[in-house]
Structure 1
Amino acid sequence: ARWAKQQGASMALVNPLASSTPILPQQPSPYFPSSRRFRNPLYLRVEELDGAREVAGIRALAAEARRLNRQRRIDRDIAFRLKLQAFERIWRRVRRRRDRSFETFEREQGTPLFEYAAFCALAERFGSGWHGWPAAYRRHDAPAVQRLARDRDVSDRIRFHIWLQYQLDRQIARASREAPIVQDLPVGFDADGADAWAFQDVLADDMSIGAPPDQFNTRGQNWGLPPFVPNRLREAGYDPFIQTIRACLRHAGGLRIDHVMGLFRLFWIPRGMEPRDGAYVGNAADDLLAIVALESHRARAVIVGEDLGTVEEHARANLMARAVLSYRLLWFEKVPPAQFPEQSLAAVTTHDLPTIAGLWTGSDLKAQKQIGLAPNEQGTLEIRERVRTLTRASDRTPLETVIARVYDALGRAPSRILTATLDDAMAVEERPNMPATSGEWPNWSLALPHPIETLKANALAARIARALTRPASSKRRM
């Protein structure tokens, strides 16, 4: 965030920081969280934790962790084990200290935070999948769960997880003061996770959401995420949704809503059936959008709706009327960036699509074929031809020049917010996530080829930043 601000950025857009269940193996995808209301301790900077400098062995653990940076592929399980050791050592040092700020945070966050921390402690004891826990602990409001607060050993573990959320809150707040952070709201959460445990009364636990078959994916998609039942959510006063939006907007300058059409309708698939057997179920969009509007107004935050793919015109009109920014990609738009709508966030690509380097060199198309996918080769070549026309590049043009010229073009968009990716700034060829794959591609597990600290000396990154920060512009840049 500090580097982005120094380059003229007014915001920093991040992937979901949502929590995963604190056991092994760790879930790599930030879009399959245990909870959307709480944050993942893996993102904590251990050295900046309160009390870290007082604990012996922290530097040794940090050195061991830094050795992982030599590997391109991220091993979250090793990182989790190392960080958990550090967290526990620091907690043992500070847990008996009086910290009024921590106490205030714990009190203000109240029951939802206690129950989330209790879930974490129970998951450590009984494993993932709360449906298989002892019956006494399968409900968040069960008497046995509430009694955990009086169990010395378990209550200490619960406070440990509360303390981790407090430290995350402090570090996110500090980062957002450098450049306001735009958080990312996943479309759902893990059926075995903390949110599903807490909100089970308003979920259709025999359903999962996904996408119907289409020309790009003839089998459709099943995301394995349980949907809210619209009438049950309304009867609950929309409290689960309000908690989620409010949590995501805490210390945030904005919120990107993934698959924003999900506020209008979701594709439900019955358990044990194929996507072709599913159907769309409508949501109370006006109510949900009103909640988003109110919470964003309170947080003084911008809202971005990821409206890629098929979006019904009435939905887009509704979003525009509520000042939700559309999401416009250079890869998808048939018009040049200069003709993008002002009420939009403009980007070149997303984590699910080719990077500029991957597209231009052909390596992304090649990778798809190598892992057995059936890529839309014609569509990819058409995008590459548009890039060639837009940048006036030839096959002999240096790759970094092509990347810079693409962002020169994006910089001409009238969009309210312009964004660039770190992958493009480092000319990365591999995309972060390859949809419709699991073990075939290292989804969400490829680190940048160089440490983030090297951005200060990265000429391409500086060149991209200049393209998006022209003095004549009043638009926001990320």
Structure 2
Amino acid sequence: MTELSPRLAELARAYGVATEFWDWQGRHTQVSEETILAVLSALGVEAGSEEAVEAALLDVELAPWRRLVPPVVVTVEGRVPAVPVHVSPEDEATATLLLEDGSSRDVAVLSAEDAPAREVDGAPVERRVLALDESLPLGWHTLEVRAGDRRARTSLVVTPAAISLPEPLERPGSQSWGLMTQLYAMRSADSWGIGDLADLGDAGAWAAGLGADFVLVNPLHAAEPVPPIEPSPYLPTSRRFVSPLYIRVEDVPEVGYLSAAERQLVEWHADDARRYLDLDFIERDAVWMAKEAALRMIFRQRRSLRRARAFNAFVEREGQGLVDFATWCAIVQVHGTWWRQWPAELQDPRSTAVESFREKHAEEVEFHLWLQWILDEQLGRVQRDLLDTGMSLGVVADLAVGVHPDGADAWSLGEALARGVTVGAPPDQYNQMGQDWSQPPWRPDQLEELAYAPYRDMIRAALRHSGGLRVDHVLGLFRLWWIPQGMSPLHGTYVRYDHDAMIGILLLEAHRTGAVVIGEDLGTVEPGVREYLRDRGVMGTSILWFERDWDGDGGLLDPEQWRELCLATVTTHDLPPSAGYLQGVHVELRSRLGLLERPLEEELAEDARSREEVLADLRRRGLLRPGAAVPQQVEALHAFLTRTPAKLLGVSVSDLAGDTRVINQPGTDEEYPNWRVPLAGPDGSRVLLEELFTWRSARRLARTVNQGD
């Protein structure tokens, strides 16, 4: 591989682009020049020649000096923020701090002793600093700075040093458990072929009766408004809004205004959708067609004055982001989901053509605004009901890593998302070919330019009706694996983010709602990241099969040595349910799909050895009798979790049902029906919630984690 020129390497580092890294096997790897150039191009940096590199280096060096103040300053409560001000030497500078509560303070502008004036674009510029103090309250504040004839505003975000656990979890030795579920798969006889928010409420109420404190649900993010609908909840069209597939139609208040004939039509659509309960796989497209027809009929009913005011207030609160999303949905109805193939004038959400389209299709836009309002109401009701049952957390939401490249967010967020690259993961022991998730990443420079507003709005939406937030691949708030389009995941590189800002804003919004934050910190973790997250109050994720004494003999980690601040589980959605894992179904599946680097026999032997090591440990601890069947092995695995100090324990609904089928096989797309497998029992036949609630085996597993025996 050709060695990078020192100046190109310097430019890459200036933009947070890694030029080297250590892989999962500890091997030092040099990133290719081709990859570096492609990633820099996605960041808007031309570096194809020595002259371009020199010009780009000068631009990045002078960029802060060309601004009166930076676009945003994110700091920690109790810490004095350093805010530079760049002015002409002869200009007098003044500043005012506008606090979020509406009050204001005058701020002195002082000379910076360690920053001599320099020439910028032919004129001298001097760096000064604002004399702020550590008594700033938490929140989003605004700094107004004036110097000569220049005026500028910047956001000053004061974040918590750490967030605290809710009171029940703060007690020494306390431990809470909850369900983990893929909502689309968790269906009842009243479901329209797919699990919905009423099912979520019922499952939570049942679990609360068994002592559960939360229900962690897969991302409910919005998918396409027309078929084909992307099945993966981790590849949404928007992370800020919710999929209308999860609406329980009969719970919409305006159903009460339907005529007898219209009610009959709704029932006909419901019966049509419920036919899909008997199929082997979730049929999102067919279900949505039935559900959409019924919802459009209900949408056209009159609203009471109270309801009309509530709807208008919701639209006003959500602002332009919601309007953009609804507009995208409306345009999709006419021009399809591939927005980069729309007429050129509609590809810019701020164009006059888009505004004209919105006015011409006002009713269609309003329909999609209304759907989000209904979802907001139903989600809020579920959370209130679960808290009323005595749960301490209620719903714990899940935030996907990114969005579909042709989705609403990719259209409406503009340059906040990078073009020409996708997010993925480098090769690791679980997927030795690496992964390409096909999602455009946040541009760290543009997030800063936008004062992190799109990121903040997304976090706020996720926390509005939840007692906690699981952040998928939380490591991506530190660095993400960027893959240039046309290249394999093997040829990507890491791009770094301002993790102090990303984590700080996440914690500020969680603090405001009293929510816990759970970071999915599996995979290749750079040194110090887990410790950083722990110190700031972010819970980690510990999977039983992966918790090993890596500093010792590599054996199963003793339960006493597990970390306290984590969500501990036996399995995860990227592995089979526990019964399936115990039978090695994942190895055989990966072999059929060509995802193994070693021979099948070798992989099976290694997997069997690893499983037996765990089972032997359970027998040694008296948690499992010799010769026990798979259901008893699953119970023993969960009993092991209760011996750890982990604050939260998660039990998959698939484990309650004894399901064995893989939910998602990383590294595949159409090769396996990812995210389309409904809840089933040990024999592969469907299981509805009403049945599961009556199973003694399900209650027994719940009692195992509730009582710790």
| Alignment TM-score > 0.5, same fold | yes
Residue type of the alignment partner of 2:473: H
TM-score normalised by length of structure 1: 0.94
Superposed displacement of residue 372, structure 1:
3.5
Residue type of the alignment partner of 1:169: D
Which structure features the higher share of strand residues? 2
Give the stretch that moved more between structures: 433-442 or 278-287. Answer: 433-442
Superposed displacement of residue 370, structure 1:
3.3
Superposed displacement of residue 176, structure 1:
1.2
Give the stretch that moved more between structures: 325-334 or 378-387. Answer: 378-387
Aligned partner (choices 183, 205, 209) of residue 2 of structure 1: 205
Aligned partner (choices 69, 90, 95) of residue 277 of structure 2: 69
Are 2:587 and 1:350 aligned? no
Are 2:476 and 1:273 aligned? no
Alpha-carbon contact 2:618-2:636 (below 8 Å) kept: yes
Are 2:599 and 1:385 aligned? no
Question: Residue 470 and residue 170 in structure 1: after superposition, are their counterparts in 2 closer, same or farther (change >3 A)?
Answer: same
Give the stretch that moved more between structures: 115-124 or 51-60. Answer: 51-60
* 1:208 alignment partner, SS class: strand
Are 2:214 and 1:11 aligned? yes
Query: What is the identity percentage for the equivalent residue pairs of Structure 1 and Structure 2?
Result: 39
Residue type of the alignment partner of 2:581: L
- After superposition, residues 84-95 of structure 1 pair within 5 angstroms as 84-94=292-302
* 2:663 alignment partner, SS class: coil
Superposed displacement of residue 71, structure 1:
1.3
Q: Name the CA distance, whole Å, in 2 between partners of 1:358 and 1:279.
A: 34
Q: Name the CA distance, whole Å, in 2 between partners of 1:247 and 1:380.
A: 41
TM-score normalised by length of structure 2: 0.64
- After superposition, residues 14-29 of structure 1 pair within 5 angstroms as 14-29=217-232
Alpha-carbon contact 1:211-1:220 (below 8 Å) kept: yes
- After superposition, residues 46-57 of structure 1 pair within 5 angstroms as 46-53=249-256, 54=258, 55-56=262-263, 57=265
Aligned partner (choices 308, 316, 327) of residue 107 of structure 1: 316
Residue type of the alignment partner of 1:43: Y
Structure 2 counterpart of 1:200:
414
Q: Name the CA distance, whole Å, in 1 between partners of 2:310 and 2:617.
A: 53
Structure 1 counterpart of 2:366:
159
Q: Name the CA distance, whole Å, in 1 between partners of 2:287 and 2:502.
A: 37
Equivalenced residue count is: 470
Report Cα offsets for 1:11-43 as digits up to 9, x if no partner.
110000000121110100000000000000111
Alpha-carbon contact 2:576-2:585 (below 8 Å) kept: no
Q: Name the CA distance, whole Å, in 1 between partners of 2:222 and 2:707.
A: 37
Are 2:584 and 1:366 aligned? no
Residue type of the alignment partner of 1:452: L
Are 2:496 and 1:282 aligned? yes
- After superposition, residues 422-461 of structure 1 pair within 5 angstroms as 422-449=653-680, 450-461=687-698
Structure 2 counterpart of 1:339:
561
Q: Name the CA distance, whole Å, in 2 between partners of 1:322 and 1:201.
A: 30
Superposed displacement of residue 147, structure 1:
3.1
Are 2:512 and 1:298 aligned? yes
Residue type of the alignment partner of 2:518: V
Residue type of the alignment partner of 2:289: R
Report Cα offsets for 1:94-150 as digits up to 9, x if no partner.
469762211211111111111110010011110011111112211222222233443
* 1:418 alignment partner, SS class: strand
Alpha-carbon contact 1:351-1:432 (below 8 Å) kept: yes
Residue type of the alignment partner of 1:444: W
Q: Name the CA distance, whole Å, in 1 between partners of 2:663 and 2:558.
A: 25
Are 2:607 and 1:399 aligned? no
Q: Name the CA distance, whole Å, in 2 between partners of 1:470 and 1:447.
A: 29
Q: Name the CA distance, whole Å, in 1 between partners of 2:266 and 2:506.
A: 41
Are 2:670 and 1:462 aligned? no
Which protein is bigger by CA-based radius of gyration? 2
Which 4+ residue blocks in structure 1 deviate beyond 6 angstroms?
A: none
Structure 2 counterpart of 1:173:
380
Alpha-carbon contact 1:330-1:336 (below 8 Å) kept: no
* 1:36 alignment partner, SS class: strand
Structure 1 counterpart of 2:236:
33
Structure 2 counterpart of 1:476:
none
* 1:420 alignment partner, SS class: strand
Residue type of the alignment partner of 2:230: Q
Q: Name the CA distance, whole Å, in 2 between partners of 1:338 and 1:29.
A: 36
CA RMSD of aligned residues (A): 1.9
Q: Name the CA distance, whole Å, in 2 between partners of 1:99 and 1:337.
A: 54
Alpha-carbon contact 2:431-2:666 (below 8 Å) kept: no
Superposed displacement of residue 90, structure 1:
1.1
Aligned partner (choices 332, 343, 364) of residue 134 of structure 1: 343
* 2:651 alignment partner, SS class: coil
Structure 2 counterpart of 1:258:
472
Q: Name the CA distance, whole Å, in 2 between partners of 1:358 and 1:76.
A: 25
* 2:239 alignment partner, SS class: strand
Residue type of the alignment partner of 1:460: S
Question: Residue 467 and residue 178 in structure 1: after superposition, are their counterparts in 2 closer, same or farther (change >3 A)?
Answer: farther
Residue type of the alignment partner of 1:171: Q
Question: Residue 381 and residue 206 in structure 1: after superposition, are their counterparts in 2 closer, same or farther (change >3 A)?
Answer: same
Which structure features the higher share of helix residues? 1
